[in-house]
Amino acid sequence: MFEYDLVEYFDSLVHATSDGLWLGGDRYDASIKRLLQEMDKAEVRRACLVAIADFAESADVYQFWQGYPDRFVPIGSMNPGRAEDPQAATRAVYALAEQGFQGLKLHSRLNEYHPLDPRALAAIQAAGAVGMVVFLDTLFRQRRHATAPAADIIDRIALACPGTQVVLLHGGASEMLQVFEIVRMHAHLILDLSFTLLRYGGSSLEKDMRFVCENLDQRVTVGSDFPEYTQQEMIEMFESITDGLPEDKLNRIRHDNLAELFS
């Protein structure tokens, strides 16, 4: 058992819903009560509480953040695919910023729009203009749209939106090393290990994740993707695959990189 009290973690990705349901089902308990219990159990003091348009509403995130402002960074969400045009997408992002959200979550797979839709790019650019960090789900594959490899999509977003800090949630999963090469070239990109860390446990991707942590520690974050996984599960896996790496590198990934974004 790891001594959590000796290590501070800042969870990059957690979700909670008002009814405790997750993605329309009851497979997981996504209540704020359970989230706080799991965070306390693992001694995780702070997390990015992230909305997903149509699935985990921004209004709920705002309410939970108001109740626990020291525990959560509020990340709102909108669906660019529902915007009338890029200008409407921009206005929707500005509205979230005015409410106090510090980041914008975009999830093209669940919201079923192409990740390079002009409305999505406008939303990312608008977020940068108002100082919001974009949390971009990088599991782009979906049934309705054929998409290019994750690294190619990310490369195009990086070039189109140079003024926006983007956290690449899940790090491109099985395409992580290609994504690593893109992140290495663009200082406004951050590679995140949430979900992937546990989803691909036991696969060759474990070695890729260790490589990324060792060679890109200043721009890597780690998270649980609660309720998909718990903070304790996340910490145990992270400590296992990074065993022996220098503590200064690990602390940047565990906490410092996100703390700098949301100081």
CB-based contact 192:253 (threshold 8 Å): no
What's the pLDDT tens digit per position in 179-209?
A: 999 999 999 999 999 999 999 999 999 999 9
Q: In the chain, what are the domain boundaries? A: 9-261
Compute the distance between CA of residue 148 and CA of residue 183 in angstroms, rounded to an integer: 17
Would you list the DSSP string of 76-100?
Answer: EE--GGGSSSHHHHHHHHHHHHHHT
pTM, rounded to two decimals: 0.96
CATH no. of 9-261: 3.20.20.140
What's the pLDDT tens digit per position in 33-54?
A: 999 999 999 999 999 999 999 9
Number of C-beta neighbours around residue 39 at 10 A: 24
Compute the distance between CA of residue 110 and CA of residue 257 in angstroms, rounded to an integer: 27
What's the pLDDT tens digit per position in 117-152?
A: 999 999 999 999 999 999 999 999 888 778 899 999
Compute the distance between CA of residue 79 and CA of residue 235 in angstroms, rounded to an integer: 31
Whose CA is closest to 86, among 133, 58, 126, 53?
Answer: 126
